[in-house]
Amino acid sequence: MNDVLVVGAGPAGLLAAWGARQRGGRVRLVASGIGTTHISPGWIGVLDSDGDLSSALQGWIGTHPRHPYALAGLGALSSALSALREVTAEAGLEYVGDLRSNYLLPTALGATMRAAVVPRSFAAGDLRDPGSMLIAGPAGWRDFYPGLCAGNLVRQGFSAHSATFDLPELHAGKFDATPLTLARLFDRTDVRERVAAQLKPCLEGAARVGVPAVLGLAPGVDVSIDLSERLGVPVFEIPTLPPSVPGIRLFTAFKTALMKAGVQILLGMTAERGVIEGRRAVGVVIPGAVRDTTYGADTIVLATGGLYGGGITTDHTGAMREAVFDLPLDRPGGLESWFGPESLGVHAAHFAGVRVNRDLQPLDETGRTVLENVRIAGRLLAGHAAEAEGSTEGVWLATGYRAGCV
Amino acid sequence: MTTPYTPRLLEDIRRTADLCVKCNICTSACPVVPVTDLFPGPKYVGPQAQRFRDPGAPSPDHSLDYCSGCGVCTLVCPHGVKVMEINTAAKAELRMRQVRETPLDPKLWRNTLLGYNEVLGQVGGLVAPLANAVMSFGPARGLLERTLGIDRQAPFPSFHFKKFRGWFFGEHQREKPPTPRGAPKVAYFHGCATNHYEPEVGRAIVAVLEHNGFEVVLPAQNCCGLPMQSNGNFEGARHYARANLRKLSPYAGQGIPIVVGGTSCGLELKSDYQELLGLHTPEASLVAEHTYDINEFLRLQHEAGRLKTDFKPDGRNIPYHTSCHQKLHRIGRPALDLLGLVPGLTVEEMGVDCCGITGTYGYKHEKYAIAQAVGKPLFDRIKASGASLAICDNETCRWNLAASTGVRVVHTVQVLAEAYGLDQAPA
């Protein structure tokens, strides 16, 4: 039996663990803590492109032969999306859309972003659809300002107005409400009933209603459908500040599926270093309360994240190091590579990562495989600037899926 | 109430507050937050409040008291913030303030009393039938609830006349087969619960270790100190800790491994004495280095090819709850690895973070309902499994699960002992 150790609990690691388990491996997943699901919008952006997405992706891998998509293959991306649908459907979550075109979706600030596959509760927010919008949120909630969101959408030529609704429970306690506080409130029928009653008179002919992504956490009830029925128009979610409720739904769906499949998920376990014998990784060392334990495996999937996720550590000089095996890194330059005119624009430092072959095995500068039984997945991979490309979630999933094919 | 604690590593725990990026992942995972309005979440009372905690200044928030101390926050934090540990240290300061300002508050007395569970077990055991009758007598529990705020429904174990240590030094020494020459020694730290309430757990651990060729020795020992520590009584906990270190270090000094049955007691010996109580002594690190959770120890034996695997097949499907403190050992799931060696046995990890009781938290009247609500998803899963037996490796969690589900709950090693066919009451 293939013993597989996955390091990292973000979407890349979760999907790799799922895939490896489906192939009959004995799988353990270790991670320092919960990963990027909780700080992600919950949708799957694959490439920031309007028009025909599949040909854009084909073109992209043609011009970017070292991009993770080119190495993992677009087939891996499609299969990853199918696997995602399978796992989430089990939890009563529906993901819609495909690789033919992108949704254009509003953010909490009223900016726009593109995503190919989205939770069904986001779909009605597609700005390619001209229908006018009511953007609504609870009055007095510090994390979402309907007026700001609607105002910015209007500035870009979309038809939107805003309203707030009162949710006394939000202010009953003395503590700030997180998106989760609200999500738990929306799990209650009486709350949905009251919110719908307040919003109905504010519709003013709006064809749809956008609210912060707090529409319920409990499995089984699709709160956005329930609200849509009450209001008579489609209701859609807009991503919030963290913690992300749609991201938590995704994490919970994977956690449930993995545990049910017999995968041990071990959080609070930081892979501090790797143990190497020749050209193979024997295991990773994880410090316990008093002693280190070496977790051995036949295959190790590193999905530890990039510069922002902790998979690559750095210091004030801009030096970079792969955190577990000290793998060779593509380093795009010194400290100057960190700076650029736009914070979310292309920064040379964003291309930092581990170079891999088509099996996602790590390579050295000469293109030789460094560790035969290690696979790299997610943001740790070199050759892409996910933030600027709009490929963040797509790379997570495509390479997570590919890495799990062991 | 005396030593201001600014020892080396405690400083480090507090400094981990600076690693917090306010992502609120801990708040999203906290099992207490969803069930009460009285607790704002670990980020708020932990790393966020920490920056307002000057030595000598009052603790900024009483809601800290509603932190159950389960430690899920620490485990899910991707940035290395020791959230629960920050809270535990702050609770000690809160208690020092209560002692100064409201020394007659019954809750303070109750919290102090709950820290003395070792003494309760000793005294209760002397008059076991009487103590058991009182503790199962409704009006008496009602009185206890009204005066001290110990909830009338909280799951107290039964007192026993006969202690585990009595069995070990008496009957067991007379009846056990002779120890093979050169058998490696293991020192067993059984803790109060095994000695006073669940001697069967201790007997199973001794039987499994002896079956695998070890000579079990029983060091003198006392309460690990956790019940005091978690109620903010660091001075009392240190008193227990120093006594244990004195009693255990001679064993550790000879290289004898110290195995612990309860996951919470084990965590005390391994890290809390140093990290939280600030006992940075050579004795403390010596004892810590030699301390093993019993399942961890047995898994290491297996990895070294030294564990017997002559298990009888067991066709059962048994739910397993990983206790919070077990997770804080950061040793993976040795119980699942061991139980996986029993042919035919299916063990399903429940995947619910916490049972709610967290030591003495769920015994307190004002927190009983919170603890029950925290544990409900777990109780429901165990009940829905239809199993008549469940496994959990921590004492109070076991009692809580048993009382809340009606299912018998045992330690992993009790199931292993049965699978070995050792002379035990069946698990």
Average pLDDT rounded to a whole number, residues A167-172? 89
**Could you give the ipTM of this predicted complex?**
0.94
Q: Answer whether A34 touches B (CB < 8 Å).
A: yes
Secondary structure string (H, E, C) spanning chain B:
CCCCCCCHHHHHHHHHHHHCCCCCHHHHHCCCHHHCCCCCCHHHHHHHHHCCCCCCCCCCCHHHHHCCCCCHHHHHCCCCCCHHHHHHHHHHHHHHHHHHHCCCCHHHHHHHHHHCHHHHHHHHHHCHHHHHHHHCCHHHHHHHHHHHCECCCCCCCCCCCCCHHHHHHHHHHHHCCCCCCCCCEEEEECHHHHHHCCHHHHHHHHHHHHHCCCEEECCCCCCCCHHHHHCCCHHHHHHHHHHHHHHHHHHHHCCCCEEECCHHHHHHHHHHHHHCCCCCCHHHHHHHHCEEEHHHHHHHHHHCCCCCCCCCCCCCEEEEECCHHHHHCCCCCHHHHHHCCCCCCEEEECCCCCCCCCCCHHHEHHHHHHHHHHHHHHHHHHHHHCCCEEEECCHHHHHHHHHHHCCEEECHHHHHHHHCCCCCCCC
pLDDT recorded at residue A342: 84
Other beta carbons less than 10 A from residue A145's beta carbon: 18
User: In whole numbers, what is the pLDDT of chain B averaged over residues?
Assistant: 92
Residue B161 CA to residue B220 CA, distance in Å, equals: 19
Residue A325 has what DSSP assignment?
T
Shortest CA gap B292–chain A (Å) = 9
Whole-Å CA distances, A196 to A205, A231, A235: 15, 6, 11
Check pLDDT > 80 for residue A173: no
Which pLDDT does position B357 carry in this prediction?
A: 96
pLDDT value, residue A221: 78
Can you tell me the distance from the alpha carbon of A65 to that of A54, in angstroms, rounded to the nearest whole number?
A: 16
Measured in degrees and rounded to the nearest 5, phi and psi for residue B251 equal -70, -50
- The CATH-assigned architecture of domain B8-101 is Orthogonal Bundle (1.10)
The two three-digit tokens of residue B343, written as one number:
């042919």
Q: Give the mean model confidence (pLDDT) for residues B32-58.
A: 87
Is the CB of A268 less than 8 angstroms away from the CB of B333?
no
Q: How far is residue A390's CA from residue A374's CA, in Å, rounded to a whole number?
A: 27
Nearest CA in chain A to B76: A33
Secondary structure of residue A388 in the 3-state scheme: helix
Peptide bond into A341 cis (omega under 30): no
pLDDT over threshold 80, residue B424: no
How far is Cα of residue A398 from the mean position of the Cα atoms in its chain? Answer: 12
Closest chain B residue to A263, measured at CA:
B349
**A160-180: average pLDDT:** 91
Instruction: Establish if B144 touches chain A: CB-CB under 8 angstroms.
Output: no
CATH value of A3-93+264-403 in 3.40.50.2300, 3.50.50.60, 2.160.10.10, 1.10.3720.10: 3.50.50.60
Collect all residues with Cβ–Cβ distance below 8 Å to B193 and sequence separation of at least 6.
B117, B121, B157, B201, B262, B395, B396
Q: CA gyration radius for chain A?
A: 22
Query: Cβ separation of A243 and B24 shorter than 8 Å?
Result: yes
For B313-419, the fitting CATH number among 3.30.460.80, 3.10.20.340, 3.30.300.340, 3.40.50.10700 is 3.40.50.10700
Q: pTM for the complete prediction?
A: 0.95
The pLDDT, as a whole number, for residue A136 is 98
State yes or no: pLDDT of B4 exceeds 60.
no
Class of the CATH-defined domain B166-302: mainly alpha
pLDDT confidence of B156, banded at 50, 70, 90? confident
Using the CB atoms, write b or e for A25-39: b if 16+ within 10 Å. Answer: bbbbbbbbbbbbbbb
| Minimum CA–CA partner of B340 in chain A | A262
A202: Cβ contacts below 8 Å, ≥ 6 apart: A134, A136, A163
pLDDT in tens, B315-342: 999 999 999 999 999 999 999 999 999 9
Residues found in chain B: 427
In this prediction, residues A319-334 reach a mean pLDDT of 93
pLDDT tens sequence across B69-109: 999 999 999 999 999 999 999 899 888 888 888 899 988 99
Smallest Cα–Cα separation from A70: which of A371, A406, A365, A391? A391
Average pLDDT, chain A: 95
Amino acid at A208: R
Length of chain A: 406
B/e letters for B333-365, b = 16+ CB within 10 Å, e = fewer, are: bbbbbbbebbeebebbbbbbbbbbbbbbbbbbb
In the predicted structure, residue B3 carries a pLDDT above the cut 60: no
Which tokens go with B148?
């001290």
pLDDT digits over A8-36, tens only? Answer: 999 999 999 999 999 999 999 999 999 99
Write down the domain spans for chain B.
8-101, 106-148, 166-302, 313-419
Strand B215-217 to strand B185-189: parallel, antiparallel, or no bridges (unpaired)? parallel
User: Does the beta carbon of A243 lie under 8 angstroms from any beta carbon of chain B?
Assistant: yes
pLDDT at B364 over 70: yes
Quote the tokens at residue A155: 């500035």
B286 in contact with chain A, both atoms CB, cutoff 8 A? no
Tell whether B78 is within 8 A of chain A (Cβ): yes
- In tens, the pLDDT along A29-51 reads 999 999 999 999 999 999 999 99
Of A289, A325, A288, A320, the residue nearest A304 (C-alpha): A325
In degrees and rounded to multiples of 5, residue A77 shows phi and psi of -65, -45
State the Cα–Cα distance between residues A295 and A269, nearest whole angstrom: 11
Q: Which residues of B touch A267 (CB under 8 A)?
A: 75-76, 327
- B118-127, B250-259, B331-340: range with lowest mean pLDDT: B118-127
**CB-CB under 8 Å, A33 with B25:** yes
Say if CB B60 and CB A211 are below 8 A apart.
no
CA distance A300 to A280: 10
Per-residue confidence band for B372, with pLDDT thresholds at 50, 70 and 90:
very high
Q: How do residues B210-245 score in pLDDT, each as one tens digit?
A: 999 999 999 999 999 999 999 999 999 999 999 999
Cα B255 vs. chain centroid, distance in angstroms?
Answer: 25
Q: pLDDT tens across A77-106, in order?
A: 999 999 999 999 999 999 999 999 999 999
Return the domain boundaries, chain A: 3-93+264-403, 126-233
Q: Which of left, alpha, beta for A63 (phi over 0: left; psi -120 to 50: alpha)?
A: alpha
Tokens of A239: 């991503």
Contact B389, B408 (CB under 8 A): yes
Nearest to A173 among B37, B78, B331 (CB): B37
pLDDT tens profile A364-376: 999 999 999 999 9
Chain mean position to CA B51: 30
A350 touches chain B (CB under 8 A): no
